[in-house]
Structure 1
């Protein structure tokens, strides 16, 4: 993209160049690159509010920059007034996702096999079926005590829950007011691993598990 000219005309042509709250005018490309640089070094999703503080822009302008960066990574061309004609867009090997209340760059899913081969050297560390089942129960029933999870699964889950907590996928959330048992919930790390923004984005179970309502009734009686 060509650099926007300084002055009010550039600010009016591009939402990311509205009043910047600075005595020195900075080009749209500079703001875009600054947000990109912050996201490149982030080890966890960064919220729009945090980005706004980092680049000294209002949050709604940062959102416009994020939308542009995501479109750019996806190979979608969005020309602003005054931009030079763009060439054929290329989809990047990475993508910008909104997960767990923030934004972060990820390698594109279609290249997961190649990335895993490089990062893990063929070695994978996966959760056991028991851990996955326990995690699923807690994700859909949270906050929930271990005794309730054990009742649903029919086995003791103490060791599995400890493992999930150690991996950062579960955390405690107080105690049950009646029994005093510790309650467990999923974490932001869990959402990030699944590429979800919130628990509400979990797929509905009913279409896949007929009779799941009866299971929920049984669990609530524990």
Structure 2
């Protein structure tokens, strides 16, 4: 099996797949062809990226693997065939998600320290049910509190590979050991990232529509 044929197989499978596929999964498709290895599959992907460069879809790598997704310029047209509105989350949920994404691993107490308010258990449940956060370990200390982190599904839904793709944010661990002024600075950075609430809304109200909020609330379109 030569490179063009490998490319056609990879292209067809990724276009029909419901979820991203890792390079290992793609390589296993050619188990009956000893001449097709990981290197050849990666070369086929690179060729496909070039062939799709000027089209409405792009072949991209996200945390869970490779997938085709619509380019940003196509988003408004794709949304016309998906008229249902994505779920809206409270500002408390969005702030919590932002803190976990930028600062993980963190405990519930860490999040409450940064936000300055007591956090409802429903916030964590909402994000867990969406598949965006999970328990990644436990902190040594009294009660061994759970450490929370974001999932590969979160990065894939955002069209990102890892935290390295996020805008820089002050280190949470540095802020933990600093004074109240450092906490205030970190809170301000998160508030700027999420945008301020719309007029008349309290901190716990629905967040104003912003580019980041829409990105966090809507899965990247794959078709």
- TM-score, normalization: structure 1? 0.71
Distance in 1 separating the partners of 2:16 and 2:7: 15
Greater relative CO, 1 or 2 (CA 8 Å, sep 6+)? 2
Aligned-pair CA distance for 1:126: 3.2
Residue from 54, 62, 84 that aligns with 2:29: 54
Q: Distance in 2 between matches of 1:58 and 1:146?
A: 44
C-alpha displacement of 1:36: 0.9
Cα offset, 1:156, TM superposition: 2.4
RMSD: 2.5
C-alpha distance in 2 between matches for 1:27 and 1:142: 44
Write out per-residue CA displacement over residues 78-99 of structure 1, whole angstroms, 9 at most, x where no aligned residue: xxxxxxxxxxxxx221111111
Distance 2:172 2:139 in 1: 24
Q: Does the 8 Å contact 1:52/1:59 carry over to 2?
A: yes
Change (3 A) 1:218 1:193: farther
Shift of 1:30: 2.0
Cα distance in 1 for partners of 2:109, 2:140 equals 15
The 5 Å alignment of 1:75-86 reads none
Give the corresponding residue for 1:167: 130
2:145 corresponds to 1:181: yes
Matched, 1:193 2:157: yes
2:3 aligns with 28
- Partner of residue 45, structure 1: 20
Q: Whole-Å Cα distance in 2 between the matches of residues 170 and 41 of structure 1?
A: 27
8 Å CA contact 2:107–2:148 kept in 1: the answer is yes
TM-aligned CA distance change 1:159 to 1:195, over 3 Å: same
Are residues 213 and 151 of structure 1, via their aligned partners in 2, closer, same or farther at CA, if it must alter by over 3 Å? closer
Q: Secondary structure at the match of 1:152?
A: helix
Scaled by the length of structure 2, the TM-score of the pair is 0.70
Is 1:217 aligned with 2:180?
no
Which residues of structure 2 form unaligned runs of 5+?
184-223
Contact conserved, 1:34 with 1:55, CA < 8 A, in 2?
Answer: no
Runs of 4+ residues over 4 Å off in structure 1 = 211-214
Structure 1 residue 101, shift from structure 2 partner = 4.8
Q: Does 1:151 align with 2:126?
A: no
Q: Give the counterpart of 1:134 among 96, 102, 115.
A: 96
Q: 1:127 offset after TM fit, Å?
A: 3.0
SS in structure 2 opposite 1:144?
A: coil
> 3-state DSSP class of the match of 2:136?
strand
Structure number with larger C-alpha Rg: 1
Provide the secondary structure at the position in 2 that maps to 1:103: strand
Does the CA-based 8 Å contact 1:175-1:181 persist in structure 2? yes
| Separation of aligned partners in 2, 1:218 and 1:69 | 49
